[in-house]
Structure 1
Amino acid sequence: MKNVVLLTLAVLFSVVTFGQDAAEKINQANEAMQAEDYATAFKLYDEAMKNLGDVQVDSTINYNIAIAAYRAENMDGALEYFQKAINVGVNLEKSYEYMARIYNDKEDYAKAVDNFEKAIGAADGDTESMVFNAAIAAYRGDMLDKAVELFGQSVENGYRGETALYYKAVALRKKGDDAAYKATLEEGVNKFPGDDKISSALANVYVSEGNELYKKGVAILNAANQKVQDGSLKTTDDAYNAEVEKAQVEFRAAVEVLEKAKELDASNQNAQKLIDACSAVL
């Protein structure tokens, strides 16, 4: 009987000791936070939380511990306590946003996007920057449909519209949708005529189109000239002149497109070279 009583007292004493120790460590952690010694603050908080005993703590402490870990660059610790803050419904928007940032730095872009979108859903106020950051994470993670959607939202929000529209276009090109890529760049040139990145990209599209038209014209001329060499056609024949006219239609169309490229990007040397090549046979 005596042994049982002694054992019970020992357990009670242990609980009280743990509680007193936890409370002291939390106070010390608070002081470390004030001194911006975040690594020490997190260590003390974490030790206290693992041995609370009968100490009662406010639910917001999990968020504060997460911030200490984040500022101490202890990202695993930050993730653990941001999740605990979320579990008790504390600072949902910021907790999700910080988790998104951490996953983004870890290059776990799927989780980054997921947490950005949860932060956006939990937000009461401005979310424009988070939408844009979620779009960037989606793009980096090759989540191209999501990137197109979120960059489109950023354009609508008017948040870094030029950059958002450009990367929306690039995401569309990576998806293999060349028509939508071109249409988005044309939209960008109209909305942001001074943006060199968008203008240069669209100029390259026009140069590519002009080059294809030029090659069609050359192919028509070469075929007609081959017939002349074979003796089945003469350069004085109406049929030959008709083929030359067909080729010139392609060359003129090429020049028209290439001039648009030059208007967008005067430094595009390929555009000028192709214009010169077309002019030589017109």
Structure 2
Amino acid sequence: MKKIVLLLAFCLSIGNVFAQDADKLRDEGDAALKAKNYAEAFTKYDGFLKQTNNEDADRVFNCAFAAFQAKKYEDAVKYYDLAIQKNKNIDDAYTGKAMALRNLNKAPEFTATVEAGLKAKPGDADLEKLLYVYCMKQGQAVQKSGKIADAEELYKDVLIVSNPKYKENALYSLGAMYYNEGAKILAAATDPAKYEAEKDKADVQMKKAKEYMEQAVALNAANANAKKILDSINETLAK
């Protein structure tokens, strides 16, 4: 019986040591975060949360923030995801996770995270701006490299937002892109014997352009450039 009591006392003392170590790590993480020493803050919080099974939602979010600031983006994604699961600072957690995924160049995961965030927080201005800037920039880059289908998907990703200006710009970009594709086909159709076949190919692109440009004009009837291109599309399709 004496051995059992001694063993129990030993186990309790070990548990107290672990608790003290965890508290020390938590407090050191708080101090490092306050001092903007983000790399140290992440290390301390990471150690604290591993010892406490990620139970402290405040420190989970702080750990994610510190990881992002320290450019530890994979760790930031992990802890922002935990913060989302714990419903802690949900809008900032989705934004932080999306920004980390953006910096990791994980486009599908980035857009999926923003979409999930907008379902949880419809119309969130930070998430909508983040999606708009990323998708428009990446869309223009892949369009320039000739990857039209990829550019279309990126521009279309913007259309889930509620901001009408963002949607208008994405639709205009889609319409202008397909208008240019059709125009290039027509410009290269110099062989009279092949012109009709080439015109049919161009019309496919022009019809796509017309659909998108009409939607852009519907959002903003004062968009003179969109109306000008739409007139040119209709003229080309009527020939």
The TM tier, using the shorter chain, reads 0.5 to 0.7
1:190-209 pair list within 5 angstroms: 191-193=222-224, 202=229, 209=236
For residues 178 and 59 of structure 2, the distance between their equivalents in structure 1, rounded to whole angstroms, comes to 44
Query: Equivalents in 2 of 1:172, 1:127: separation in Å?
Result: 30
Q: Distance in 2 between matches of 1:21 and 1:129?
A: 38
By how many angstroms is 1:84 displaced? 1.2
Candidates 154, 174, 178, aligned match of 2:206: 178
Contact 1:162-1:192 at 8 Å conserved across structures: no
Partner of 1:88: 86
Contact 2:155–2:170 at 8 Å: present in 1 too? no
Corresponding letter in the other structure for 1:180: K
User: Are the aligned partners of 2:73 and 2:103 in contact in 1 as well (CA < 8 Å)?
Assistant: no
CA contact (8 A) 1:151 1:168 kept: no
| 1:184-229 per-position Cα deviation (integer Å, ceiling 9, x unaligned) | 3465595322x6xx699x49x76x959xx9xxxxxxxxxxxxxxxx
Q: Separation in 2 of the partners of 1:73 and 1:45?
A: 15
In 2: Cα distance, 1:133 partner to 1:23 partner: 36
Counterpart of 2:74?
76
Distance 1:160 1:62 in 2: 33
Distance verdict in 2 for CA 1:153–1:98, change over 3 Å? same
In structure 2, list runs of 5 or more residues that go unmatched.
143-148, 182-203
Contact 1:94–1:119, Cα closer than 8 Å, also in 2:
no
Could you tell me how far apart the structure 2 residues matched to 1:77 and 1:46 are?
9
Is the Cα contact below 8 Å between 2:63 and 2:76 reproduced in 1?
A: yes
- Report the identity percentage: 21
Q: Which protein is bigger by CA-based radius of gyration? A: 1
Distance 2:170 2:52 in 1: 48
Q: Find out whether 1:41 has 2:38 as its counterpart.
A: no
Deviations 1:8-28 (A, max 9, x none): 333221111110111111111
Instruction: Give how far 1:86 is off.
Output: 1.6
In structure 2, the partner of 1:118 is 116
Paired residues, what number?
Answer: 200
Farther off after superposition, 164-173 or 20-29: 164-173
| Counterpart residue identity of residue 80, structure 2 | F
Q: TM-score, normalising length from structure 1?
A: 0.57
CA root-mean-square deviation: 3.8
Trace 1:211-226 onto structure 2 (pairs within 5 A).
Answer: none
C-alpha separation in 1, matches of 2:106 and 2:9: 50
Once the two structures are TM-superposed, the CA of residue 111 in structure 1 deviates from its matched residue by 1.2
* Counterparts of 1:160 and 1:36, CA distance in 2: 35
2: CA distance, partners of 1:58 / 1:120? 25
CA distance in 1, matches of 2:74, 2:159: 33
Give the match's secondary structure for 1:191.
Answer: coil
Deviation (angstroms), 1:158: 2.7
In the alignment, structure 1 residue 164 sits paired with structure 2 residue 161: no
Is residue 15 of structure 1 aligned with residue 15 of structure 2? Answer: yes
The residue type equivalent to 1:21 in the other structure is D
User: Structure 1: how far apart are the matches of 2:168 and 2:117?
Assistant: 24
2:128 matched residue in structure 1: 131
Q: Relative to structure 1, is the Cα distance of residues 171 and 165 closer, same or farther in structure 2, using a 3 angstrom cutoff?
A: same
Matched letter for residue 150 of structure 2: D
In 1: Cα distance, 2:49 partner to 2:56 partner:
12
| Structure 1 stretch displaced more, 134-143 or 83-92 | 134-143
Equivalent position of 2:195 in the other structure = none
* Distance in 2 (alpha carbons) for counterparts of 1:93 and 1:82: 11
Unmatched 5+ residue regions in structure 1?
214-252, 254-282
- Asked if structure 1 preserves the Cα contact closer than 8 Å seen for 2:118 and 2:124, the reply is yes
**Distance 1:50-1:183 versus aligned 2 partners, 3 A rule:** closer
